[in-house]
Amino acid sequence: MEGVGNDFVLIEADAAHGLNLSELAQRLCCRPFGIGADGLLVVGRGERAPVRMRMFNPDGTEDFCGNGLRCAARFAYEQGYVNTPEFTIETLGGQIVPVQLHLYGGIVGQITTQLPPPRFHPRAIPALVDGEVIEDFPLTIAGHPLRLSSINTGTTHTVIFCDSLPDDALFLEVSPRLETHPMFPERTSVLWAVVVSRSEVRVRIWERGVGETLGCGSGAAAVGVLAYRAGWTERIVRIASKGGMLTVDYREDGVLLTGESNKLFEGVFYLE
């Protein structure tokens, strides 16, 4: 399945019973020798919610994933895990995420998920700096002076607002170094962002544990929240990446993230 170009191998939890999911993610997500994906989604019935989703990056680390939530939501609805377009999904750390499927003639179109309220304090990001928030923070990476803003929207994100998106040389030199900088003990995803107007921001994404991706749901939420807090955009803003468009609606009780998800193909993978 995919959401704004963020592609996933999705399997049902019962099929993976007894398997090491971290090792399985590394194998399935490897593009030359596996199926190839930005992550592995393991979806089943939950105890605290009708549906439970676990997501693993290609390097085997478990993570939170905004685009993965929409894929899991569509899958669960179409597989009959739920019989209503509004339900909840349990995800990393026991977080309960409300979901609303927008149906058109009984077919799933747009999907809205409510991500948890963003966390700004360095201890909650987490980041090893003093202060209450990390906004417009100066840091030099590989000789390049940067101004950073960091936030947790379910997972750790660092946003670099700039006048134009970086070329490959700058993007590939700085992004992986920033991901693994000692300032971020759990690493960070990196989003380069250009404010186009008060209703749209363009981004280029380096996702922790993955590398460059075409889309990132929780990252789009991070960009939308930070741009609004800076006074550059409205509360509701479109975030455009290489994979497509997401709509972010920043509210006091969380962040509404709306976009599509699509099932591309299904098949059988043979484990030795």
Catalytic positions are 65, 216
Tell me if 240 sits within 8 A of 247, measured CB to CB.
Answer: no
CA–CA distance, 249 with 254 (Å, rounded to integer): 9
Axis crossing angle, helix 66-78 with helix 217-229, rounded to the nearest 10: 130
The span from the CA of 43 to the CA of 69, in Å, is 10
HSE value, Cβ hemisphere, 13 Å, CA-based, for 230: 19
Cis peptide bond upstream of 122, omega within 30: no
Neighbours of 16 (CB within 10 A): 17
Cα–Cα distance measured from residue 178 to residue 184, given in angstroms and rounded to the nearest whole number: 9
Q: In angstroms, rounded to a whole number, what is the distance separating the alpha carbons of residues 179 and 156?
A: 10
What's the one-letter identity of residue 21? L
Burial environment of residue 170 by CB neighbours within 10 A (0 to 12, 13 to 18, 19 or more): middle
Which residue type sits at 22?
Answer: S
